[in-house]
Structures are given as C-alpha cells and as structure tokens.
A = this chain, B = another copy of it.
Amino acid sequence: MRERSRPSAARASGAPAIVSLDLVCCAAAGRHLAVLVRSGGRASAMMLPWTALDPATAIDAAAARFAREQLGRAPVWIAQVGASGDGRRHPSGASLSVCYVAVLPAGTPAPDGMEWVAAPDLTGLASRQQAMVPAAVAALRDRMDIAPIAFRMLAPEFTLSELQQVYELLLGRRLHKASFRRALQGAYLVEPTDSWRSEGRGRPAQLFRYAPRKRRGVRRSVRFELLG
C-alpha cells in the first residue's frame, strides 16, 4: 500500500485510518461539470480531498465540517453518495470509504492547493476515487428533481438560459427552450426580478431568483420506461 502526500488530518493519531471520508466537489463550468482535486505537488498525483473519519463524530456532520474546511466556505448542497470498499486503491489505504458530493456555485475559485478539473478529463486518480466521480455525478442527477441542486449551482440571480444550461449539463442532453420554461412556469419555482442582464450579442435576459411557492403535493405517475 503506497502512500504519498496526504492531508494533515489523516492518521494524525498514529493509528491506521480505517475509514476515509471523500469529497467530490462539483460546480458547473461552461459545458462541463468541474470537480475539485488536490494536486499534490506533481500534476500526476491528483486526488480527491479526503480525511480519516473520526469515529466519535456524526458522519454527516463530519462531512459538512470537512467540506467547509476544505472549501473555506460551506457548500450550497451536500449529500452522501455511498460507501465503497473493495480491492480498489485509495490514497489512504483505507479499507472503506464514504463518499459525499458537494455543490458549489459556478465561478467559485479553487482554494489553495486545489484546482478545478472537468469531470471527463479527470483521470489518474486512485481507482476507488476514480469510481466516486461518476457515482457522485449520478447522485446529483438522481436528486436534482427532488432538491434544488441546479438552482444552487447558480448565483442567487440567474437567467433562465443559465438554468437550462445547468439542467442540460447534469442531464447530459439538450432541452427544448419553450418546453423547459413552460414546465418551470407551471412549478412556481422562480420569481422574476427587476433586473436584466445584457451579455454581448442578443437581447438582454431577465434575471430570476429561486423562490418556490407552496403547492399541493403533485404525485407523478408510474414510470416503466427506464425499467428492463
């Protein structure tokens, strides 16, 4: 089990780290989803931020605190992806790793010692961490229709085109503009502001903010389409 540079928190007690807590921090960046990696000195030694899990602390709280420490600020959203532990390598040598996915607004600068890498370009991680990235992205995609993840990836005031781009990013496919806006309108999730933003060429876009209004619980119909 090889070891290179590791975060100072790891194995501080001298006891071997049994369980690691790993973080996939995501932000929208143009057409890609960017992930924060710690580049340990050389470019080839990239790793996701991780720490040894303190058995005395609640794990969700530990993840939130670790994210705040690493980012210098609280993420706008965080959730557990899952636990993984098998033959694949982890920088810590931990036999078990619990992965969390955190979301930051687009344009957040990378903290010292870290950098944003587009998710598809992210290679060369230890194999267990490598597998966490698609799992974290899938977790985002799966939960974006029950939590306002896409909205949190934007500044508090945003254009509907920006929002649509985030949805297209996470879903991995293009959406139809009119249909997207109609669905959004019907959900009473945003309210217009008085501001407009002119960005280069075309007509200025109106700015909106996330302001969900209470609605009676809508129950979706049974979907067999993805089964099989």
- Residues of chain A touching chain B, judged by Cβ–Cβ distance below 8 Å, are 18-19, 53, 55-56, 58-61, 80, 82-87, 95-96, 98, 142, 145-148, 167, 171, 173, 175, 179-180, 183-184, 186-189, 212-215, 218-228
Contact = CB atoms under 8 A, between A and B. Distances in A.
B228 A180 contact: no
Given A167-B222, A173-B219, A183-B222, A228 B95 contact: no
Chain copies in complex: 2
A148 B36 CA distance: 35
A186 B19 CA distance: 46
A145 B83 contact: no
B187 A225 contact: yes
Given A183-B221, A186-B224, A212-B227, A61 B80 contact: no
Contacts of A223: 145, 183, 220
A61 B58 CA distance: 26
Nearest to A53: B96
Nearest to A211: B228
A59 B84 contact: yes
Contacts of A173: 219
A51 B222 CA distance: 36
Nearest to A167: B222
A30 to B, nearest CB: 21
